[in-house]
Chains A and B, each alone.
Chain A
Amino acid sequence: MPEPDELTQRERDEMAALPRYREPGRLLEERTVRELRARGLLRKPGVHRAWWAAAAAAAVALFATGFALGQRSASAAGVAMVTATVESQQAAMQAALQVQRTGSAWIAALTSLASLEESGDPDALRQGREAARSALRAAVVEYASMAPSDAVASQMLWLLSDTGSGGTDSLPAARQSQAFVWF
């Protein structure tokens, strides 16, 4: 059914010439974001990345500490300090529990890192990896300093330092025989 009073061509042109876009005030964006944050619908991006990176680093550090403690508990090495720590059965049990807890935290950290990888945010991912590697390296150094002759510690240290420098090839023959001296 035709309109009772159709627009003239000139009127159509005038309607079509009306602007379709207009920027609202800049404050409106901030006001809207603030309101959405207050309702828990948005999260600050900086906090998000830093939180995951910190969580990953903390989880790795916790795991590494527990791992070192567990090793000390299980080891019969004759370091006096270690022996004193793990003399009792109760201490060994606590250490084992600590390892178990830190293991769970490690899994959670890996899940966090995996989710960062899926998010495709290279900065956050790099930060998370860097934090994790630093914490792990620090823990292994601590562990190796307590058991300098431990082959596992030596291998871990070599692996971390090699990864840190970007190399991933197999262990060179010259380095295989390298003796680590700590302290």
Chain B
Amino acid sequence: MARFEVDGDRTLVQRVLDDGDEGAFRQLYRRHSPYLFQFVLRVLGGNETDAEDVIQETWIRAVEGFARFRWEAELRTWLGGIALNLCRGMFRRRDRDWLDVASIPEPEAPAVTAAVESIDLERALALLPAGYRAVLVLHDVEGYKHDEIATALGTTAGTSKSQLHRARRAVRRLLNPVIDVDHTVVDGDHDART
């Protein structure tokens, strides 16, 4: 991120802290929310209502915690961490074992015909189980390392690696279903992509 933008963040955060400056907050919101929204939307599998709830709560927690933020990371990274933690809480409320490798069934390839033989990557990510999707998005899209994923999701680096392996396999299956002569989708290995 450009230096002036970091300095701008600092100044705006200070104005929010000192004066409750709504204008400064709106600048921060408009600067970082598009990234946060896309990130959260992807982690949550495309549920816009949930994503908006997470974004709102992220900003509330951020403003409440501005005084504790030490600027050792970029503001956007810190905000992303808050948002991810909220997503994790949301997943856990729905399924305690959302990150348990053993308990997550691999997704079935969608029923498609030869006329519609593939789906795009975004759709494939949305079809993944939450645990697979979170790890794959963080690692392959956002560039997190396994130990960072482990910290962010409250798991181990080993679990993160296992999830990533399964997630990639599932995505490949979703993206390239093998269609037999009767237009029945079957799973297949895709050497060209592995």
Contacts and interface: CB of A to CB of B under 8 A. Distances in A.
A32 B19 contact: no
B3 interface: no
Contact of A42 (B25, B34, B48, B55): B25
Nearest to A47: B22
Interface in B26-70: 26, 29-30, 33-35, 37-39, 41-42, 48, 51-52, 55-56, 59-60, 63-64
A24 B59 contact: no
A145 B19 CA distance: 42
Interface residues of B, number: 40
Contact of B20 (A8, A24, A29, A42): A42
Interface string B1-27: 000000000000001100111110110
Contacts of B115: none
A44 B22 contact: yes
B168 A5 contact: yes
Interface in A39-70: 39-45, 48
Interface stretch (A11-19, A74-82, A104-112, A166-174): A11-19
Contacts, number: 97
Contact of B168 (A7, A32, A35): A7
Nearest to A43: B20
A37 B164 contact: no
A5 to B, nearest CB: 6
Contact of B35 (A8, A21, A44): A21
A127 to B, nearest CB: 16
Contacts of A151: none
B38 A11 contact: no
A33 interface: yes
A15 B121 contact: yes
B21 A45 contact: yes
Nearest to B193: A8
Contacts of B165: 3-5
A4 B162 CA distance: 9
Interface residues of A, number: 34
Contacts of A43: 19-22
Contacts of A21: 34-35, 38
A170 B75 CA distance: 53
B20 A41 contact: yes
Contact of A23 (B25, B37, B56, B141): B37
Given A18-B121, A32-B59, A24 B16 contact: no
Residue of A4, A7, A15, A23 with highest tally of chain B CB at under 10 A: A15
A24 B38 CA distance: 8
B121 A31 contact: no
Interface in A130-159: none
Contacts of B140: 7, 15
Nearest to B15: A119
Interface of A: 3-5, 7-8, 10-11, 14-15, 18-25, 28-29, 31-33, 35-37, 39-45, 48, 119
Interface of B: 15-16, 19-23, 25-26, 29-30, 33-35, 37-39, 41-42, 48, 51-52, 55-56, 59-60, 63-64, 121-122, 140-141, 161, 164-165, 168-169, 192-194
9 contacts: A3-B164, A14-B121, A28-B55, A29-B26, A29-B29, A35-B60, A42-B20, A43-B19, A44-B22
6 nearest A-B pairs in the assembled complex, by CB-CB distance: A22-B38, A21-B34, A43-B20, A24-B37, A42-B22, A45-B23
